[in-house]
Structure 1
Amino acid sequence: MNAITPELLLYAYGNGIFPMAETRDDEDVFWVDPKRRGIIPLDGFRISRSLARRMRRGGYEVALNRDFAGVVEACADRDETWINDTIFDLYRALHRMGHAHSLEIRTDGALIGGVYGVTLGGAFFGESMFSRATDGSKIALAHLVDHLSQTGFRLFDAQFLTEHLASLGAIEISRADYHTRLNDALQVEADFLSGPGLGAPQDVIQRNNQRS
């Protein structure tokens, strides 16, 4: 498995497969193609009243790709993680190729939340997120969903449905349904770094309400 190349990794994503490691220290990587897949519908993200209040208060900065490696490191900084050195190196290579991106939330210059993933066609494959302050990851996801919608993406793959993601509007679909949606999204030429730029909190909330 150590012979995985960035090109092979992109091919795997295009076929609905993604890599994981058992632990941070495990040198091996295995492929995953879940029977049930978690996705975040771009027209179904839930911004709760409390999250909307937090976003309107502001006091945070949103950025793209300012510190991709730092976001991946923050996502891996937990007791149990599937991000080993091999996976870390592969995603940094995809980032250099323009196929992996991060969205970061900062307060006073410090990272308080973020998410990173892989882009291919009109699909965004969310890999991991982190939070170092209350609502840090929720704010990141709210801005990411808005950004994906604004830049022409069709599919936000969340891999697995968790309680946290379900509370934000994520759903679980069958493998067959996922592959149909993936194939449709791959026909689209979306550009993560195009569009009008990252929206202000109030604009993100308003557009989300209009989409939902």
Structure 2
Amino acid sequence: MLSSALFTGVRILEVIVALPIIGMLGWFVNPYVENNQDVPDALLTLFIVSILACAWALVTLFQFHRYRSMSGPFIAVVDICFVGAWIAGIYLNRGISDANCSSLSVPVGIQIGDHDYSGGDSWGAHVSKSCAMFKASWVLAIIDCVLFFITCLLSWTLYRHHRYDNRHVHKEYTGGRRSGSTSTYSTHRRHHRHAHV
């Protein structure tokens, strides 16, 4: 089924996106832990959400097809909860969206009258590693938030399709068995009538 393959593909993508977030935010959290300092709430929230989301995605990736008939709604509910958790982490760290993590130096010289104005001595670029890593984590968190919303919808859709297929098969089976019972009963009556004649 296309929806099932799509769910699996998006789930794998969620794990792929979450792993760099965990790695980069772990780099920020580690100094606080080593120095026995409290990790800032905004950073800690996004870090914990990324770990739990990655673990949940891995578990459901391997168990969904086995327990789809009874766990589809549960997976959908948990996924939508993770969407809310991602939004909370993204909102708490929204300040990084306006950060400029790089600067560029260009050798520009302008002479106006007797005065020389220079914008730089040479070509150069500077990127703040910590700023770039945190901003990348924030952007990836937004992507994972969208992906979890998609898998929420897909898991519910697959569950409904599964229930519909089961109902259809059950209806055909019981209908066929009822018809079979009727024909058997009719055959039995005909046989009984001929025996009396």
TM-score, length basis structure 2: 0.22
Structure with higher strand content? 1
TM-score, length basis structure 1: 0.21
> Which has more radius of gyration?
2
